[in-house]
Amino acid sequence: MPALANNELRIVGFLCNWCSYGGADTAGVARASQPTDLRIIRVPCSGRVDPLFVLKALLNGADGVLVSGCHPRDCHYGTGNFYARRRLEVLKRFLPILGIDPARFSYTWVSASEGQRWQKVVSRFTEEIHALGPAPRFEAVEPLAKACSWTQESKGPVSVISPELLEQLKKAIADKLPELDCVLGWQEGRDLLHSVPLFIRSEDDLTKLRCDATCHNNLVRYLPDLKGQKVGIIVRSCEARSVVQLLQEGLISREELVVFALPCQGLLDLPRLEEALGRYQRLEDLTLTETTLRLRVDGQERVFQTADFRQSRCEQCPGELPAIADQSFGDFSGQTASQTLPPELAFLDSLNLQERMGFWRACMERCILCHACRNSCPMCVCRDQCIAESREPHWQSAEASVKEKFFFQIIHALHLAGRCTGCGECQANCPVGLPIFALRAHLNRIVSELFDGYQAGCDPKAVPPLLTYSQEEAHIHERSWE
Residue span binding another protein (CB under 8 A) among the ranges 36-44, 154-162, 207-215, 425-433: 36-44
Which residues ranging from 133 to 162 are in contact with another protein (CB under 8 A)?
none
Residue 39 binds to another protein (criterion: CB under 8 A): yes
Cβ of residue 409: shortest distance to another protein, in angstroms?
15
Neighbouring CB atoms inside 10 A of 323's CB total 11
Facing residues of 108 across strands?
A: 68
Which residues ranging from 221 to 260 are in contact with another protein (CB under 8 A)?
224, 228, 249-251
Cβ of residue 252: shortest distance to another protein, in angstroms?
10
Q: How many angstroms separate the CA atoms of 386 and 187, rounded?
A: 30
Q: Nearest 5°: phi and psi at 333?
A: -70, -25
Give the x/- contact pattern for another protein in 333-372, rule: CB under 8 A. ----------------------------------------
Cβ of residue 102: shortest distance to another protein, in angstroms?
19
Cβ of residue 471: shortest distance to another protein, in angstroms?
10
Residue 438 binds to another protein (criterion: CB under 8 A): no
* Residue (113 or 350) nearer to another protein, CB: 113
Cβ of residue 87: shortest distance to another protein, in angstroms?
8
DSSP character at residue 50: -
* Torsion sign (Cα): 290, 322, 451, 386: positive
**Please, is 309 exposed, middle or buried when counting C-beta atoms within 10 Å of its C-beta (0-12, 13-18, 19+)?**
buried
- Please identify which residue in 9, 20, 24, 264 interacts with another protein, judged by CB under 8 A: 24
* Residue (4 or 368) nearer to another protein, CB: 4
Which residues ranging from 41 to 70 are in contact with another protein (CB under 8 A)?
41-45, 47-50, 53, 56-57, 60-62
Give the x/- contact pattern for another protein in 171-210, rule: CB under 8 A. ----------------------------------------
> 389-397: which pairs have CB atoms within 8 A and are 24 or more residues apart?
395/52, 395/56
Q: For residues 33, 36, 39 and 42, what is the CA-based torsion angle, rounded to 10 degrees?
A: 10
Residue 447 binds to another protein (criterion: CB under 8 A): no
Residue 410 binds to another protein (criterion: CB under 8 A): no
Residue 393 binds to another protein (criterion: CB under 8 A): yes
Cβ of residue 378: shortest distance to another protein, in angstroms?
14
Q: How many angstroms separate the CA atoms of 399 and 393, rounded?
A: 16
- Please identify which residue in 111, 242, 265, 335 interacts with another protein, judged by CB under 8 A: 111
Cβ of residue 29: shortest distance to another protein, in angstroms?
6
Amino acid at 469: Y
Judged by CB under 8 A, the number of residues near another protein is 75
* Residue (35 or 457) nearer to another protein, CB: 35
Report yes or no: 12 and 67 within 8 Å, Cβ to Cβ: no
**Please, is 153 exposed, middle or buried when counting C-beta atoms within 10 Å of its C-beta (0-12, 13-18, 19+)?**
exposed
State the first-to-last Cα distance of the chain, in angstroms, to the nearest integer: 35
- Exposure of 175 in the CB half-sphere (CA atoms within 13 A): 9
- Please identify which residue in 371, 387, 433, 460 interacts with another protein, judged by CB under 8 A: 387
Task: Report the candidate in 318, 166, 330 with the shortest Cα–Cα distance to residue 244.
Answer: 318
Q: How many angstroms separate the CA atoms of 184 and 177, rounded?
A: 11
Report yes or no: 267 and 314 within 8 Å, Cβ to Cβ: yes
Cβ of residue 420: shortest distance to another protein, in angstroms?
13
* Residue (282 or 394) nearer to another protein, CB: 394
Cβ of residue 459: shortest distance to another protein, in angstroms?
16
